[in-house]
Chain A
Amino acid sequence: MRIFEPHAHMFSRVTDDYERMALCGVRAVLEPAFWLGQNRTSVGTFVDYFDTLLGWERFRAQQFGIHHFCTMALNPREANDDRVNADVLAVLPRYLEKDSVLGVGEIGLDDQTPKEEKFFAEQVQLAIRHDLPVLVHTPHRDKKKGFERCIDILKESGIPMERVLLDHGNEITIKLTRDLGCYSGFSIYPNTKMDPLRMSKIVVEYGVDRMIINSACDWGVSDPLMIPRTIVKLQQARVPDADIEQLVWKNPIAFFAQSGRLQENDLAWPASADLRETFEGNSVLRGQDPAALQP
Chain B
Amino acid sequence: MTDHVPDLTGHAEALLPDGARTWWNQALARARDEGPEALPELFPALRRRIGTTGLSAGMFRETPYLVDLDAWRACDAAGHVLLEAAGSHDGPATDLFLRGDLEERTIVLKAMTLRPISPDTIALLGEVQRTNTVRHVEAGVLDANLAVRALEAGGPMTGFSQDDLHRLVLKLAFLDLPVARAYGVLDHATAELSQMLEDFAQEREAAGRPVWADTWRFLGRAAIATSRERLAAGLAHAQPEVRAAARDGVQAFGDTDLLKQLDA
With A47-B99, A51-B99, A98-B101 known as contacts, the answer to whether A280 contacts B44 (CB < 8 A) is no
Number of interface residues of B (CB under 8 A): 18
Contact B48 A261 (CB under 8 A): yes
Contact B133 A280 (CB under 8 A): yes
Q: List residues 118-177 of chain A with CB under 8 A from any CB of chain B.
A: none
Residue of B with least CB distance to A279: B133
- Judged by a CB distance under 8 angstroms, whether A276 is at the interface is yes
- The 8 A CB mask of B208-223 against A (1 = contact, 0 = none) is 0000000000000000
Which residues from B are CB-within-8-Å of A279? 132-133
In the docked arrangement, what's the CA distance between A274 and B102, Å? 13
Contact A55 B102 (CB under 8 A): yes
Which residues from B are CB-within-8-Å of A261? 48
Which residues from B are CB-within-8-Å of A274? 134
- Judged by a CB distance under 8 angstroms, whether A241 is at the interface is no
Residue of A with least CB distance to B44: A97
Q: List residues 103-147 of chain B with CB under 8 A from any CB of chain A.
A: 103, 130-135
With A93-B40, A99-B47 known as contacts, the answer to whether A281 contacts B131 (CB < 8 A) is yes
Q: How many residue pairs between the two chains, A and B, have CB atoms under 8 Å in the bound complex?
A: 43
Which residues from B are CB-within-8-Å of A93? 40-41
- The 8 A CB mask of B25-61 against A (1 = contact, 0 = none) is 0000000000000001111110110000000000000
Which residues from B are CB-within-8-Å of A99? 44, 47-48, 101, 103
Contact A281 B130 (CB under 8 A): yes
Contact A282 B103 (CB under 8 A): no
CB distance from A183 to the nearest CB of B (A): 24
Option from B43, B48, B101, B134 in Cβ contact (under 8 Å) with A54: B101
Contact B44 A281 (CB under 8 A): no
- Judged by a CB distance under 8 angstroms, whether A82 is at the interface is no
Contact B132 A283 (CB under 8 A): yes
Contact A97 B41 (CB under 8 A): yes
- The 8 A CB mask of A25-64 against B (1 = contact, 0 = none) is 0000000000000000000000100010011000000000
In the docked arrangement, what's the CA distance between A51 and B100, Å? 8
Residue of A with least CB distance to B102: A55
In the docked arrangement, what's the CA distance between A100 and B103, Å? 11
CB distance from B140 to the nearest CB of A (A): 14
- Judged by a CB distance under 8 angstroms, whether A238 is at the interface is no
With A47-B99, A51-B99, A55-B102 known as contacts, the answer to whether A97 contacts B45 (CB < 8 A) is yes
In the docked arrangement, what's the CA distance between A57 and B21, Å? 33
Contact A94 B101 (CB under 8 A): no
- Judged by a CB distance under 8 angstroms, whether A16 is at the interface is no
- Judged by a CB distance under 8 angstroms, whether A12 is at the interface is no
Option from A55, A100, A281 in Cβ contact (under 8 Å) with B132: A281
Which residues from B are CB-within-8-Å of A94? 40-41, 44, 99
CB distance from B4 to the nearest CB of A (A): 29
- The 8 A CB mask of A264-287 against B (1 = contact, 0 = none) is 000000000010111111110000
Contact B41 A282 (CB under 8 A): no
Which residues from B are CB-within-8-Å of A54? 101
Contact A100 B101 (CB under 8 A): yes
Residue of A with least CB distance to B132: A278
- The 8 A CB mask of B182-221 against A (1 = contact, 0 = none) is 0000000000000000000000000000000000000000
Which residues from A are CB-within-8-Å of B132? 277-283
Contact A98 B44 (CB under 8 A): yes
Which residues from B are CB-within-8-Å of A98? 44, 101
CB distance from A58 to the nearest CB of B (A): 8
Contact A277 B101 (CB under 8 A): no
Residue of A with least CB distance to B105: A55
In the docked arrangement, what's the CA distance between A166 and B134, Å? 41
In the docked arrangement, what's the CA distance between A93 and B47, Å? 17
CB distance from B208 to the nearest CB of A (A): 14
With A94-B41, A94-B44, A99-B47 known as contacts, the answer to whether A277 contacts B133 (CB < 8 A) is yes
In the docked arrangement, what's the CA distance between A98 and B132, Å? 22
In the docked arrangement, what's the CA distance between A277 and B136, Å? 10
In the docked arrangement, what's the CA distance between A97 and B99, Å? 12
CB distance from B27 to the nearest CB of A (A): 11
Residue of A with least CB distance to B45: A97
Which residues from B are CB-within-8-Å of A55? 101-102
Q: List 23 A-B contacts (CB under 8 A).
A: A54-B101, A55-B101, A93-B40, A93-B41, A94-B40, A94-B41, A94-B44, A94-B99, A97-B41, A97-B42, A97-B43, A97-B44, A98-B44, A98-B101, A99-B47, A99-B48, A100-B101, A261-B48, A277-B133, A277-B134, A277-B135, A279-B133, A280-B132
Task: Identify the A interface with B (CB < 8 A).
Answer: 47, 51, 54-55, 93-94, 97-100, 261, 274, 276-283
Give 6 nearest A-B pairs by CB, closest first.
A94-B40, A97-B44, A278-B132, A98-B44, A54-B101, A281-B132
Given A94-B40, A97-B45, A277-B135, 13 more A-B residue pairs with CB atoms under 8 Å apart are A55-B102, A98-B101, A99-B47, A99-B103, A276-B134, A277-B133, A277-B134, A278-B132, A280-B133, A281-B130, A281-B131, A281-B132, A282-B132
